[in-house]
Structure 1
Amino acid sequence: MSRFFAGGSSDSETSSSDEELYSESEEEKSEEELSEEESEEESTEEDESEAESSDEDEAGGFLKAGAKGSAARFLRGEESEESDEDESRRVVKSAKDKRLEEIDAIIRTIDNAKKINDWVHISNEFDKLNKIIAKASQQGDTPKTYIKAIAELEDFMNETIKTEKDSKKKMNATNARALNSIKQRIKKNNRQYEDLIAKFRADPDGFVNEVEEILEPVAPVKLRKGAEFEAAAAAIRPGVATTAEDISDAAFSTIGRGGRTITITPDSIFKQLRAVLEARGKKNTDRAEQIRNMEKMLDVATTIYQKIRVLLVLVATRFDLTTSTASYMPMNQWKSAQEEVSKLLEILEENPLYVVQEDAEDFDDDDEEEPIPKDGMALKIFGSIISLVERLDDEFTRSLQNIDPHTPEYIDRLKEESVLYSTIIRSQVYFERAQLESSVSRVLVRRLELLYYKPEQLVLSVEKLTWSALPKSLDSAITPRSEDEDASRLINAICVKLYNQDNRLFRTRAMLCHVYHHALHNRYFHARDLLLMSHLQATIHTADISTQILYNRTLVQVGLCAFREGMISECQQALQEICGTGRVKELLAQGIQMQRYAQTSPEQEKIERQRQIPFHMHINLELLECVYLTSSMLLEMPFMAQSGSSPDAKKKAISKPFRRMLDYHERQVFTGPPENTRDHIMQASKALATGDWAKARELIRAIKIWDLIPDTDKIKDMLGEKIQDEGLRTYLFTYGQFYETLSIVSLASMFDMSEGKATALVSKMISNNEIAAALDQKTNAVAFIPGVEYSRLQNLALALSDKAVQLIDSYKYR
């Protein structure tokens, strides 16, 4: 029914009701416009440039709303007062509070998405969250709710991945891609908050409830001149004359990670050291800053215990600068570490009641009282000096491996070896005094490996220089200082001490170094007997790679020693095992020899390069090849002449590499003058086979590599005599069947030797059944007996009998 026909209603009531409805709608509109005004007012707090324009719009809106609001209040009557109170209750929030609310809202959304395992939604919200945090981090504050959220999200992600692997039912492809995508982003994002996340996981409730520290940045002070400078100085230090340096020092402080000021005092040293130890091995750790702080701690330290603890951590932290095995420690850092190790040893020498050893109990630095020696008992401090000394030696060796040996830089670096050797001797004296037997053995091995490959004169000079630089109060019971000490006695004393140790590796390396030293100084029989007595040939394949390399070097040095002593057969047998393989560089760790069909991975090649020995320890490979080929020539040429044309005898070879080179040389259509060592030896071999011993001797003596051996003239004379002897034997094997008798006088004149020597050689060949002949002393001639050549069946029967004899002999010795 229309209101016009409604009874009991007047026009005034109808109009008032209509106006009331109209006023309510107008009030709703005004409240919406006021809310828009509030949002505009909050945006003006963040951007001053937009404040003026927003204020104008706000004013216009206020007038409009005010006009409508006044009409509403006029029509509503009493309700106008309540609406005024509601408008006055508007709350204005800061930008920081708004960001916190947005962060909380996003975190709640992520928590809800985790409940249904929706990784697509989690990925999107995680990106939004990081964008807000990036803006917040510019002002230096990271909410702890964010740390809690990313830590819990990482744990939930790891749990989800583990559950996904174990469960048979897989998630859909879209969700799985989102999970894999956010996996990398979470790990990358959480690296920069590792410390805070670790702190949260250690104590979640305490971390969240902890009051955040507000760090106010220190405003920089500009240096002034004249009256302004004096005013600034008076402001900093009233009543005291102040310079520009004082103002600069007062204005700047040492700021650590996170913007916190680091103040180092004697009371806070242990706290700072604990923080350094906790940060070791973690990513994003500024090790250079840690070293600088510990250097200041060392200056601030007042007690002996504090200095020892700081030095132990400081040197270990310096070694952390080189985490990669492919690079080496910077020289300045190595020198600083060496000086600090020497300083630590000096402190321990001056204070015998302080002992650093590995099996000591670690003290709790949280105690108020600092540990001190009591009742004359030594205070044992947890640490390992021998590990620091070994690391110094390793870093020194690694630097020599990576520096080009043909540059002056290598020579300059090699000069530091005397400093390292002095540190090793000083640590040995300390370990002997502290009765640390295991450390004594380890440092003796390091000292021995710095001496065994050096000539005697160099060893004596290094010893004399080192002991003269050390205090006279220091002396060793194992290797005492002495003016008339010789190198052999020193090496023997160190090796005998190591022979008595339980560690098998130390005994093996000491034995090999001892043999090498004997062979280097031409004591062949000492070296041979010691090597055979050790029985290392049977067990060396079970040793580590570095020990096998040392064994190869020792074996080669024994062969060179036999060659210098004129023992050609012994030399060839010793060198055959190494030089006959064609991998001399690799076996001696003097380079990487690329094989034609070998496939070496980059990781394997990197490992092999790390095993290389420094250049100054190398054995000359060209000299080694020359010695091996010369020895093989002197043995092979008579053997080949003795074998004759027998096909079975040709299969036997003393040196297969020499045979291959000789065959290749004989197949050449044109042979020019010799250009290198191999050409000289191959042409000398051909001359020796034809009986032209003089040409062979001339070609061998013309090799220039002999100048690298001490007493070169003696070596060349020895080779000349050997060529004469083998030339005579080769001649008799080749042309003996064409003679019935051969005068000793003519044979001696043919090879330019005495009659007695020629007679001795022929007699030896007859006694060894090498030739079928008899020596007629009346006529002083050799009478050859015509022999009968064996048939193939007879040769096979002889070979079978030889193998049967060998089998019986091997069965007897089992």
Structure 2
Amino acid sequence: MSRFFAAGSSDSESGSSDEELYTESESGEDSEQEGSESEEGSADEDSEDEGSGEGSESSDDNAGGFLKSSAKGGASRFLRGEESEESEEDESKRVVKSAKDKRLDEIDATIRTIDNGKKINDWSLISNEFDKLNKLISKGNQSTAAPKSYIIAVAELEDFMNETIKSEKEAKKKMNATNARALNSIKQRIKKNNRQYEDLIAKYRADPATFETDAESTPEPAAPTTAPLKLRTADYGAAITAARSEDVQAAEGEFATIGRDGRAVTITAESVLKQLRAITEARGKKSTDKLEQIRTLEKMFEVSATIYQKIRVLLILIATRFDLNVATTGFIPIPQWKSAQEEIISLLHILEDNPLYIVQEDVEEPTEIEDEPVPVNGEPLKIFGSVVSLVERLDDEFTRALQNIDPHTPEYIERLKEETLLYSTIVRAQIYFERVNLELSISRVLLRRIELLYYKPDQLITLVEQLTWENMPKTLTSKITPYTPDETSLDLINAICVTLYAKDNGVFRARAMLCQIYHHALHNRYFRARDLLLMSHLQASIHTADVSTQILYNRTLVQVGLCAFREGMIAESQQALQEICGSSRSKELLAQGVQMQRYPQTTPEQEKLERQRQIPFHMHINLELLECVYQTSSMLLEIPFMAQSGNSPDAKKKTISKPFRRMLDFHERQVFTGPPENTRDHIMQAAKALATGDWMKARDLIRIIKIWDLIPETDKIKDMLGEKIQEEGLRTYLFTYAPFYETLSIAELAKMFDLTPRKATALVSKMISNNEIAAALDQKTSAIAFIPGVEYSRLQNLALAMADKAVQLIDSYKYR
């Protein structure tokens, strides 16, 4: 009985332990059933062993049976716990997949989504998933072929699209607007996309079963390992190094570049156009490494095997170099600018040696990547691109560099020396455009050429032309501007301007005319400059022109005024300079700086634009010289006019130069005036001396101004100023003291102002003929006879003024 009870107790205990385990366990029903069966088997074995045992050992067996059963029950419980912990650890370990496997899984999932979209005819969904599918394909290595599942999917999608379009036409049904737009969009994209896989798609359509069988028999990637999530740094580095070495070895015999993911990007002559398209699409994106693109394009140019490839690569390479400057106020590095200039010359050299290849703007950009066009039957092949835009950008970057470099440093001089390279590039581009007869490009490059010449003296232009044509290939020549050793700058600029005048573009004509006028004025051809300016009628329409053209107009007008001053035409000079120098914004109007104001009225954006328009320092017109010329001309006109006005209140309101009159009034109100310290002080004191008749003091004060040394032929200018001061001193004297004379000897008058009698007689005769003074010349006595009673007193002038105002009041009251 004890044995029976022992067995029963063991069974009951094991059962109870099993029940406890079942209640405490977190596993499923299947694991519970397996556990109960294993426990029942162990209990039967125990009973059989006890039944076959000896009777003398029954008590021991009873105790032993209890211990055994309890021990076994306990052991199974603990063992079960260890097994469950191990299984939980196995389940907790993540499965690590390679990027390729993940991409394939995403591709399969996207294809299934496209199939679902086809079932419900949802073309918006299909369009989005098709874009996603192509992005997943493009993420793979370029050397890796597209999966066959992708080929099958795009082939079936194209067939389904054609069927849908056909069924719509037959049934004359219309989709909703969103679905129809998505269908039209994918219709255009899928045809362009499937051109890349024409052979594989044709193979699939020829025998779909065999193609799918080949796809299924393709060896699957290795099973994912259950490696730990974290790798040691040394192991990770070793793995990357091994991957890179394998990729480089795989590309043995070809140029290989290591990408960001550590894989080799192979550049071959066959893949140049395809990779060129990828680089073009990546331009402008924030994540694009421009320097890496430039290095890749340089190596692609070395690998290029055909003329077409070299031209396409150079066009993209030069434009990518200019992309390095994204800011409007900066400039590309100087080495990159030099490289771009050399590459433009290389491009022009290739086009000159291969006349059947023409780079032109009005050509459709090729959509094919692998297909390389070639000239057929001697017809020139037109390639999409713009050489003149590259030349213009080269010029713009050179100007920006000069704007941002301190002009008082040797760096500015070194940079300015490279202007000869820029000019030679422009001339060579002009010759190429003449050969291929690109009219618009010819006009644009001619305008750039004249804008590099118009402000230079004749000697410098001749030297630059000589150096340019000496370094030019002997086979190149220009029909518009043929070079001859005895050619002058006047002939060269006239040839360029005549060509631009014949064009329809009004901006080109206006800028060319202003450049030619500036050049005439710079070389003291005042009358030609004046006549050309008046015939152009630019002063009537310049306010509608762009800002850069207005700046050029202001510079031209100022140069015409300086030319008139150098020629001794004081009135014409003052009139030309009045508009610019009469305002306080001459620096901004000439684009030579920004005026610092205590309370600025411009916004930061406007100020930024102002700084972008600044011209380089070597093109500046000296503002101090400009002010000196304007104030001196105003003095020579204003002082005699003030003396002529006398005490008339109406005459005092009339002024020739308001800025000069304000400065003169301020100077006269000062209690104490010391010796002159600057240009303005010299002119003000000279004006006061001239007004009192002390012309010698006025002449000396004007001559010792140091700024005159900046004008060529300084001594000639000073002598001219001395003569003008003598003449205006005589006129001022007559206007001031005529009422006190009845007659005045011409010889005495000429002696007072150190003039010849002939010159004095001419001046007096001119004043009499212009009704400036009431007098007559007595030729017998060589004297001036003044006519009394013409000059009014101060009281008479005031009475006349009051009478005029009364008449105005009566008229205004009458019309009310």
Q: Does TM, normalized by the shorter one, top 0.5?
A: yes
The aligned runs of 1:519-538 (5 Å cut-off) are 519-538=521-540
Alignment of 1:551-570 (within 5 A): 551-570=553-572
Determine which of 605, 608, 612 is the counterpart of 2:607. Answer: 605
Residue aligned with 1:262, SS? strand
Are positions 1:581 and 2:583 aligned together?
Answer: yes
Match of 1:180 in 2: none
Per-residue deviation, 1:347: 0.4
Write the mapping of 1:196-595 to structure 2, written as runs, cut at 5 A.
203-205=131-133, 254-368=257-371, 370-595=372-597
CA shift at 1:70, angstroms?
2.9
The aligned amino acid for 1:656 is: K
Q: In the TM superposition, what whole-angstrom CA distance separates every residue of 1:10-39 from its partner, at most 9, and x where no partner exists?
A: 999899667634431134446679xxxxxx
1:731-746 residue pairs with structure 2 within 5 A? 731-746=733-748
- Work out the CA distance in 2 between the residues paired with 1:332 and 1:86: 69
Distance in 2 between the 1:719 and 1:447 partners? Answer: 37
Distance 1:485 1:737 in 2: 60
- Classify the secondary structure of the residue corresponding to 1:299: helix
Extract unaligned runs of 5+ from structure 2: 29-67, 114-126, 142-220, 223-235, 809-816
Contact 2:551 2:589 in 1 (8 A): yes
8 Å CA contact 1:356, 1:385 repeated in 2? yes
* 1:474-507 Cα deviation digits (max 9, x unpaired): 0010001111111101101101111111111101
The residue aligned with 1:241 is none
Question: Equivalent residue of 2:305, what SS?
Answer: coil
Task: Look up the SS of the partner of 1:259 in the other structure.
Answer: coil
Distance 1:796 1:517 in 2: 52
Deviations along 1:254-313, one digit per CA (max 9) or x if unpaired, are 311333311111011111111110100101111101110111111111111111011000
CA contact (8 A) 1:26 1:68 kept: no
- 3-state SS of paired residue (2:427): helix
Contact 1:741–1:783 at 8 Å: present in 2 too?
Answer: yes
Between the aligned partners of 1:594 and 1:437, the Cα distance in structure 2 is: 44
The structure that has the greater radius of gyration is 2
Q: Which residue of 2 aligns with 1:780?
A: 782
Instruction: Give the residue type in structure 2 aligned to 1:551.
Output: Y
Q: Which residue of 1 aligns with 2:763?
A: 761
Shift of the alpha carbon at 1:404? 0.2
User: C-alpha offsets along residues 67-108 of structure 1, whole Å, 9 cap, x if unaligned?
Assistant: 989317999xxxx999999999878247443x89xxxxxxxx
Q: What is the CA-CA distance between 1:219 and the residue it aligns to?
A: 5.8
Deviations, residues 319-358 of structure 1 (Å, cap 9, x unaligned): 0111011111100000000000000000000010110000
Instruction: Map 1:697-708; keep pairs closer than 5 Å.
Output: 697-708=699-710
Q: Which residues in structure 2 correspond to 1:687-726 (within 5 Å)?
A: 687-726=689-728
Whole-Å separation in 2 of the counterparts to 1:581 and 1:411: 33
Q: Could you say what the CA RMSD is over the residues aligned between the two structures, in angstroms?
A: 4.0
**2:20 maps to 1:25:** yes
1:187-215: CA deviations, max 9, x gaps?
xxxxxxxxxxxx98652356679997799
8 Å CA contact 2:10, 2:69 repeated in 1: no
Cα distance in 2 between the residues matched to 1:801 and 1:456: 61
Which has the higher mean CA deviation after the structures are superposed, 202-211 or 490-499? 202-211
* Aligned residue among 656, 659, 672 for 2:674: 672
CA distance 1:143–1:340, change in 2 (3 Å): same
Q: In structure 1, how many angstroms separate the alpha carbons of the residues matched to 2:299 and 2:722?
A: 70
- 1:584-663 aligned within 5 A: 584-663=586-665
Paired letter, 2:696: A
Distance (whole Å) between structure 2 residues aligned to residue 252 and residue 497 of structure 1: 49
Cα distance change of structure 1 residues 336 and 94 upon mapping to structure 2, 3 Å threshold: farther
Q: Which amino acid letter does the alignment assign opposite residue 354 of structure 2?
A: N
Q: Distance in 2 between matches of 1:326 and 1:211?
A: 37
Identify if the C-alpha distance between structure 1 residues 260 and 794 changes in structure 2 by more than 3 Å, giving closer, same or farther. Answer: same
Task: Give 1:462 deviation, angstroms.
Answer: 0.4
Change (3 A) 1:72 1:721: same
For 2:333 and 2:775, locate their aligned partners in 1 and report how far apart those are by CA, in whole Å. 73
Task: State the match for 2:63 in structure 1.
Answer: none
How far apart are the structure 2 equivalents of 1:446 and 1:353?
27
Q: CA deviation at 1:251?
A: 15
5 Å matches for 1:80-91?
Answer: none
**1:65-214 alignment to 2 at 5 Å?**
70-71=72-73, 92-93=90-91, 95-97=93-95, 203-205=131-133
Query: Per the alignment, do residues 725 and 31 of structure 1 end up closer, same or farther by CA in structure 2, a change over 3 Å counting?
Result: closer
The 2-side partners of 1:462 and 1:489 are apart by 15
Q: Which amino acid aligns with 1:455?
A: P
Letter in 2 for 1:92: D
- 2-structure distance, mates of 1:74, 1:427: 93
CA contact (8 A) 2:750 2:756 kept: yes
Question: 2:138 & 2:438 partners in 1: Cα distance?
Answer: 48
Contact 1:772 1:787 in 2 (8 A): no
How many pairs are equivalent? 652
State the TM-score, normalizing by the size of structure 1. 0.74
CA 1:628–1:211 in 2, change beyond 3 Å: closer, same or farther? closer
CA distance, structure 2, for counterparts of residue 255 and residue 200 of structure 1: 32
Of 774-783 and 349-358, deviating more is 774-783
Paired with 1:653 and 1:521, the residues of 2 have a C-alpha distance of 32
Structure 2 length as normaliser, TM-score? Answer: 0.73
Over 3 Å counting, the alpha-carbon distance change for 1:202 and 1:535 in structure 2 is farther
Identity of aligned residues (%): 65
Whether the 8 Å contact between 1:218 and 1:251 is mirrored in structure 2 is: no
Contact 2:255–2:268 (CA under 8 A) maintained in structure 1: no
**Stretch deviating more after TM superposition (438-447 or 356-365):** 356-365
Task: Give the aligned partner of residue 47 of structure 1.
Answer: none
Mark the CA change 1:515 to 1:87 in structure 2 (over 3 Å): closer, same or farther. closer
- Alignment partners' CA distance in 1, 2:27 and 2:423: 87
Query: Residues 266, 799 of structure 1: CA spacing in aligned structure 2 closer, same or farther, 3 A cutoff?
Result: farther
How far is the alpha carbon of 1:759 from its aligned partner? 1.1
Conserved? CA contact 2:591–2:615, under 8 Å:
yes
Q: How much has 1:362 moved relative to structure 2?
A: 2.3
Letter in 1 for 2:448: R
Partner of 1:61: none
Aligned to 2:687: 685
Distance 1:533 1:767 in 2: 31
Query: In 1, are the aligned partners of 2:256 and 2:267 still within 8 Å (CA)?
Result: no
The alpha-carbon distance between structure 1 residues 95 and 422, as it changes in their structure 2 partners (threshold 3 A), is farther
Paired with 1:764 and 1:13, the residues of 2 have a C-alpha distance of 153
* CA separation of 1:785 and 1:207: change in aligned 2, threshold 3 A: closer
